[in-house]
Amino acid sequence: MEFSYEVKDSYAEVKADGRLNMVSAPKLREFVTDVIAGASNRIVVNLENTAFMDSSGLGALIGCLKAARQAGGDLRIAAVQPQVKMVLQLTSMDKVLTAYGSAEEAFSDD
């Protein structure tokens, strides 16, 4: 699992490459918290290269969403792969988070 981020005009794009599971989930949480504190409270998590996500990974995303909101910003997700989409539906998390086609689209309305 590899995390990286890039600051764009109105948001920071976080990339989570690899398998986002119970082992890497806490690390994502930590990473995003640092980005919120250091770069931007508007976060797009780009899941383009996230081949697999489990419920712990999703749980970490909720934690990140909460952190971003508490900092006065927001967190959005983009470019989800089929397996991730399935997990989102299975847990009904798609009712909470919209999966955007690409990172650029995520904050385009705001």
Q: What span, in angstroms and rounded, lies between the C-alpha atoms of 87 and 91?
A: 6
- Residue showing tokens 């006065």: 72
- The minimum distance between CB 81 and another protein, in angstroms, equals 18
- Of 35 and 106, which CB lies nearer to another protein in the complex structure? 106
The verdict on 86 binding another protein (CB under 8 A) reads no
Q: Which positions from 10 to 29 touch another protein by CB under 8 A, shown as an x/- string?
A: ------------xx-xx---
**Using rule CB under 8 A, residue 95 touches another protein:** yes
| Given 28, 32, 35, 65, the residue binding another protein (CB under 8 A) | 65
